[in-house]
Each structure stands twice: as structure tokens, then as C-alpha cells.
């Protein structure tokens, strides 16, 4: 049990990667706050975890709304006695060429990925600093934190930005034993990616199979998708690491799509 009695606030954890992290962290002994825009799905995920004997609650939150972020962090902290781990993971994807991207969609993307990361960090750091038992802040970046792809200007911009936020939180948090790191997955077959396959096929004028083979997995070493389990294992490494030796870092888990 690497996370026994740690409290983890995980955004976007009613689905995909966030949900897998919640499941693994619960198995490792953590108390889980499932924070998601979809409150019904958050409650259902919390119920699934509780059925395995874990401690979990679902909270509804739009990560772009400061009042909702603060209220949901307070609710989780009150339920479980503080916050030890933040996984800032909630995210969406919108794809268009730059010249066709609406300003409204650009702002929506930056709000969810960057404002959401900032607001949840601010709300959770308050608890981590006051508790005096350290903490771990983990941002869900992407290979797109390091590399660009066609049609994804705001996503690539936001995911690069998370590395700057993590480095700053790593420096400011060090004296409190708070570490900050970024996970950078390649393509993982979650609802976020399933939606992109037909969209990219339409925009690029190729088949869905070609999108998978020649766009998404083209640069991997073995033509394989990264899995939610792969990403959760990396999250556990960052969350369970005991010292400031591992902070301000970004780790790519992508079947070799991007090598640094």
C-alpha cells in the first residue's frame, strides 16, 4: 500500500485516465475524491470504489469555475481530513486548423486545461502547506506538452503551459515538501480519443483506420496505444515518491512516440 491514508483529489476522474488512476490509488490505500463535471458519473465511480472497500466521494465541479473548485476541494478535505495529492486531469479536445479555430473554442480549451490546473492547484496547495505533511501535484500533460500535431493549436499550447506551471509549483512548494510533476501520455483509447478519430478522418480526408495507423500511432515503436493502466502506474510513481528528488519533471509514456 504505497498511498495508505493519503487523500487524492482527482479531476476528470469519472472517465478514462482519471478513473483508472482513482482505481489504482484506491487499491494502494488512498481516500479518493472523484471530482468531475458529470456529477452523476462521479457519484457512480465513487460507488464503484466503495463497493471494493475503498473510501471515496463524488463531487461535481467545473474546473474553470473558481467557486466550484474551492467548494469541492473544501468538501473533499472536510470528508477525509485534508488533501495530499492533486491530479489535475480534466480535459477535452477540439480540433481545427488555426485559421478556422473560433476564439471562443480557443478560450474554452485554455480555460479547462490551464485555468483548471491553476485553480485546483491553488485550492489544494492551501491544504498541503497548512497540513505540513508535504504533498504531490500531478498534471496530466501529453506528448503534446513536448511536440505539436496538426489541428491542435490550443491543446498543444495548454499542454506545453502545464510544464511551466509544474516547474514553478515545484520551486515554490519545495520548502513545504510539495512536489509537482507532469505525465505526458501518447494516445490512449478513452472517449476523448474515440471522438477524435472520425473528426480527424473528416478534416484530413482519410479513413478512420488511416487516422489510427498513420496519424495517431505512426511514430510509436510498435504501433500500440498507451493504456489507462500505463498512465496510472506513472501517476503512482509520482504520487508515492517520498522526497523532493523527483520534482519539476515531465515523463513521457507513449510507446516511444516521443523520445527525449
Contact 146, 246 (CB under 8 A): no
Q: 94, 122, 96: which is closest to 109 by C-alpha?
A: 94
Give the phi and the psi of residue 49 in degrees, each rounded to 5: -65, -40
Task: For residue 48, give every residue at least 6 positions away whose Cβ sits within 8 Å of its Cβ, in sequence order, or none.
Answer: none
Answer yes or no whether residue 49 interacts with ligand NAD by CB under 6 A: no
Minimal distance, residue 243 CB to ligand NAD, in Å: 26
* Residues forming beta bridges with residue 10, ordered by sequence position: 34, 87
Binding mask of the shown chain, residues 189 to 208, with x at each position contacting ligand NAD by CB under 6 A:
-xxxx---------------
A 10 A CB-CB count for 231 gives 26
Nearer to ligand NAD, 15 or 181 (CB): 15
Return the C-alpha cell found at 92: 477535452
Binding mask of the shown chain, residues 151 to 190, with x at each position contacting ligand NAD by CB under 6 A:
----------------------------------x-xx-x
Answer yes or no whether residue 62 interacts with ligand NAD by CB under 6 A: yes
Q: Measured between alpha carbons, how far is 209 from 198 in angstroms, rounded to an integer?
A: 10
Binding mask of the shown chain, residues 106 to 145, with x at each position contacting ligand NAD by CB under 6 A:
------x---------------------------x-x---
Residues engaged in binding ligand NAD (CB under 6 A): 11-12, 14-18, 36-38, 61-64, 89-92, 112, 140, 142, 185, 187-188, 190-193
Amino acid at each position: 500500500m504505497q498511498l495508505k491514508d493519503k487523500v487524492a483529489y482527482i479531476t476528470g476522474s469519472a472517465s478514462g485516465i482519471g478513473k483508472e488512476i482513482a482505481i489504482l490509488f484506491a487499491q494502494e490505500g488512498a481516500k479518493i475524491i472523484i471530482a468531475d463535471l458529470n456529477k452523476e458519473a462521479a457519484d457512480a465511480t465513487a460507488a464503484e470504489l466503495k463497493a471494493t472497500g475503498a473510501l471515496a466521494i463524488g463531487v461535481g465541479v467545473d474546473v474553470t469555475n473558481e467557486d466550484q473548485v474551492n467548494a469541492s476541494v473544501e468538501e473533499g478535505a472536510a470528508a477525509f481530513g485534508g488533501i495530499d495529492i492533486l491530479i489535475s486531469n480534466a480535459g477535452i479536445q477540439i480540433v481545427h486548423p488555426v485559421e478556422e479555430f473560433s476564439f471562443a473554442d480557443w478560450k474554452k480549451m485554455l480555460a479547462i486545461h490551464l485555468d483548471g490546473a491553476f485553480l485546483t492547484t491553488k485550492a489544494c496547495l492551501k491544504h498541503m502547506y497548512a497540513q505540513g505533511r508535504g504533498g504531490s501535484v500531478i498534471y496530466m500533460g501529453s506528448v503534446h506538452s513536448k511536440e505539436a500535431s496538426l489541428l491542435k493549436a490550443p491543446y498543444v499550447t495548454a499542454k506545453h503551459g502545464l510544464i511551466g506551471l509544474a516547474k514553478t509549483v515545484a520551486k515554490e512548494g519545495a520548502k513545504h515538501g510539495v512536489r509537482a510533476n507532469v505525465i505526458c501520455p501518447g494516445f490512449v483509447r478513452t472517449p476523448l480519443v474515440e471522438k477524435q478519430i472520425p473528426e480527424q478522418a473528416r478534416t484530413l480526408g482519410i479513413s478512420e483506420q488511416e487516422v489510427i495507423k498513420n496519424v495517431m500511432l505512426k511514430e510509436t515503436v510498435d504501433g500500440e496505444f498507451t493504456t489507462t493502466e500505463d498512465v496510472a502506474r506513472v501517476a503512482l510513481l509520482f504520487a508515492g515518491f517520498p522526497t523532493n528528488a523527483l520534482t519539476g519533471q515531465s515523463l513521457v509514456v507513449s510507446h516511444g512516440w516521443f523520445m527525449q
